[in-house]
């Protein structure tokens, strides 16, 4: 199964993709994570992407589609969860091609339907453990012991440089202008499913699981 999780910044794509990877053996392919890795290691792609990401704008289609192309084969066994990709019509068409070259295709495109104003609060308070990546939030989920990661006991945490209100607003505007217009491309092919992204995390998970179970049933029928 290959699925796309679509939704504005903070909609919960990464949260749900990580869960699906852990529970279903699928592989999370997050272009945001790949770009952040590239920035952190100072690769040529990272050097090009850094300022664009900090401004909340989209990195070029060629760069992100090349990154996905490089990682796609790692999802051979369990299938891929595309998290934050595609984000433009050109990327959507590139993904179809990359999948067709591997004799596979998309099974579902899941849109997390959310209230953008509530998302600013979700994003601006978040931070994660610098060692194991466990996510936290200033208001919703602090470590049990102040300054110590619940999972690995590390005392180092990090915040994304693009998680400030001005940049989040630009990221949302980019989503409305360039990403939301690709929804009809998938709707026309009968692939688009919507879930209520404002529901609690567990409830969003249940809605997504129902979609995947029914896609699995129709694939095996």
What is the set of active-site residues? 13, 87, 126, 160, 171
Polymer length in residues for the chain:
221
CA distance between the termini of the chain: 14
Work out which of 37, 48, 52, 183 binds ligand AP5, going by CB under 6 A.
52
Pairing label, strands 3-6, 108-113: parallel
Both structure tokens of 220: 């095996």
Determine, following the binding rule CB under 6 A, whether residue 201 of this chain makes contact with ligand AP5: yes
Determine, following the binding rule CB under 6 A, whether residue 64 of this chain makes contact with ligand AP5: yes
Is residue 112 within 8 A of residue 13, CB to CB? The reply is yes
Work out which of 19, 50, 122, 193 binds ligand AP5, going by CB under 6 A.
122
CA angle 17, 159, 203 (to 5 degrees): 30
- Run of H or E including 183: helix 183-187
Please report how close the Cβ of residue 17 comes to ligand AP5 at its closest, in angstroms.
7
Determine, following the binding rule CB under 6 A, whether residue 11 of this chain makes contact with ligand AP5: yes
Closer to ligand AP5 at the Cβ: 56 or 143? 56
Applying CB under 6 A, the residues found at the interface with ligand AP5 are 7, 9-15, 31-32, 35, 52-53, 56-59, 64, 84-85, 87, 91, 122-123, 126, 135, 137, 162, 171, 200-201, 204
């Amino acid at each position: 199964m290959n699925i796309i999780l679509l939704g504005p910044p903070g909609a919960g794509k990464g949260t749900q993709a990580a869960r699906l990877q852990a529970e279903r053996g699928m592989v999370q392919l997050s272009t945001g994570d790949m770009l952040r890795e590239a920035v952190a290691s100072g690769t040529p792609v990272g050097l090009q992407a850094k300022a664009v990401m900090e401004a909340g704008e989209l990195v070029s289609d060629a760069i992100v589609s090349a990154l996905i192309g490089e990682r796609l084969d790692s999802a051979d066994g369990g299938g891929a969860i595309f998290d934050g990709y595609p984000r433009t019509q050109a990327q959507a068409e590139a993904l179809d091609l990359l999948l067709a070259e591997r004799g596979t295709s998309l099974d579902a495109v899941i849109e997390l339907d959310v209230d953008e104003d509530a998302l600013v609060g979700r994003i601006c308070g978040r931070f994660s453990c610098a060692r194991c990546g466990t996510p936290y939030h200033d208001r919703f989920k602090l470590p049990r012991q102040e300054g110590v990661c619940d999972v690995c006991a590390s005392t180092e945490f990090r915040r994304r440089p693009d998680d400030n209100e001005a940049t989040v607003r630009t990221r949302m505007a980019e989503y409305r202008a360039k990403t939301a217009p690709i929804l009809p491309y998938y709707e026309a092919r009968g692939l688009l499913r919507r879930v209520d992204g404002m529901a609690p995390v567990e409830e969003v998970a249940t809605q997504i699981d129902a979609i995947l179970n029914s896609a699995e049933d129709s694939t095996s029928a």
